[in-house]
């Protein structure tokens, strides 16, 4: 690992204009999404310090050269860039309270968690002078996190962290702070609602005596094609519990009776909460 870092230490802007200079990155939140994202940053030669509530999830990356921090504050103390990928608003706020006092001026903090614009505003309100927060939640699941093909919905100026974000996926600039978090709620709720609708269409097809395969194939040739693709995906792991969290964030922002019904569907069976969202269509 030392060799990799030394070989990148003298790197600078490459001929294609992408800055490959290694940065000191603190990555907090090594769940299903955070772990493959952190792996991509380590493999790019960045100097990576990790913190996760369950410390053992960092073991494989530490074995490959990342540094384990005992606390969120220790993780971010020397960072140029902080990346967080945490479950929900409660987790993001709890980790922020621990790490924010240790952020130094000039640090760029990228929050990739799906927490909604209200929480982004609450995080921003905690920032010390000279620290910038970029909301950058992502579309795409664990498969695209591993290959660096996430759709990154960014609120704020991403130019100073382009080298980090480009390693994780493709940035869609959404506007000022909070705009990425807002668009993420729009896109993920449309996707979840689409999967729920496919599930009901399949239930109707079954009640009418139609083969499931015929219904899926013809639905997939129409306007719900993307939702059918997600409802039958095998490489994704977006647990029903996280989907329900995202629907709740949406229904607390606007009157959305269809999504309120979808929330009821998602939370009806506790045994399904840890399953991928595609379970609702099975
Ligand atoms: N999975 C997907 O397909 C997908 C796709 C796009 C966006 N997202 C979003 O990305 C975020 C992370 O998703 P994920 O699938 O990686 O979830 P996950 O596997 O459940 O990981 C959640 C992370 O948050 C940490 N965490 C939870 N509660 C915490 C607390 N109170 N204090 C400190 N840390 C806490 C967990 O720590 P432990 O390891 O200790 O539990 C873990 O590191 C979510 O906002 C999700 O909606 C997920």
Taking only the tens place, the pLDDT of each residue in 123-144 is 999 999 999 999 999 999 999 9
Under a CB-based contact definition with an 8 Å cutoff, are residues 108 and 132 in contact? yes
Pocket test for ligand 1, best of 28, 29, 240 (most atoms within 8 A of CB): 29
Buried b (16+ CB within 10 A) or exposed e, 196-221: bbbbebbeebeeeeeeeeebbeebbe
- The predicted model scores a pTM of 0.93
In this structure, the strands spanning 132-135 and 108-111 are: parallel
Six token digits for residue 81: 């860039």
Q: Is 237 in the pocket of ligand 1 (CB under 6 A)?
A: yes
Burial annotation 148-182 (CB, 10 A radius, 16+ → b, else e):
bebebbbbbebeebebbbbbbbebeebeebbbbbb
Beta bridge partners of 28: 51, 84
pLDDT, residue 259, reads 98
Low-confidence ranges of the chain (pLDDT < 70): 1-21
Residue pLDDT, tens place only, 252-280 = 999 999 999 999 999 999 999 999 999 99
| 5 CB near ligand 1 (under 6 Å) | no
Ligand 1 centroid, distance to 15 Cα (angstroms): 37
How would you classify the pairing of strands 138-139 and 150-155? antiparallel
């Amino acid at each position: 690992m030392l060799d990799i870092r030394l070989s990148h230490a003298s790197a600078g802007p490459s001929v294609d204009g992408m800055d490959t200079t290694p940065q000191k990155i603190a990555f907090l939140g090594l769940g299903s999404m955070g772990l493959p994202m952190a792996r991509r940053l380590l493999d790019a030669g960045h100097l990576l310090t990790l913190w996760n509530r369950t410390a053992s999830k960092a073991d494989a990356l530490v074995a490959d050269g990342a540094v384990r921090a005992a606390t969120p504050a220790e993780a971010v103390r020397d960072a140029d860039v902080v990346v967080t990928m945490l479950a929900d608003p409660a987790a993001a706020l709890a980790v922020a309270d621990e790490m924010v006092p240790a952020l130094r001026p000039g640090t760029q903090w990228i929050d990739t968690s799906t927490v909604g614009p209200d929480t982004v505003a609450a995080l921003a309100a905690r920032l010390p002078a000279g620290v910038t927060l970029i909301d950058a939640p992502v579309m795409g699941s664990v498969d695209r996190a591993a290959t660096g093909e996430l759709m990154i919905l960014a609120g704020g100026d991403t130019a100073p962290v382009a080298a980090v974000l480009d390693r994780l996926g493709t940035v869609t600039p959404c506007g000022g702070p909070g705009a990425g978090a807002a668009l993420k709620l729009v896109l993920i709720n449309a996707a979840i609602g689409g999967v729920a609708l496919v599930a009901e269409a399949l239930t109707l097809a079954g009640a009418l005596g139609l083969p499931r395969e015929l219904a899926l194939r013809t639905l997939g040739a129409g306007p719900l094609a993307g939702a059918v693709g997600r409802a039958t995906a095998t490489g994704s792991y977006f647990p029903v519990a996280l989907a329900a969290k995202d629907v709740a964030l949406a229904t607390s922002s606007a009157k959305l009776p269809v999504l309120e019904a979808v929330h009821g569907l998602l939370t009806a069976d506790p045994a399904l909460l840890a399953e991928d969202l595609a379970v609702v269509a099975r």
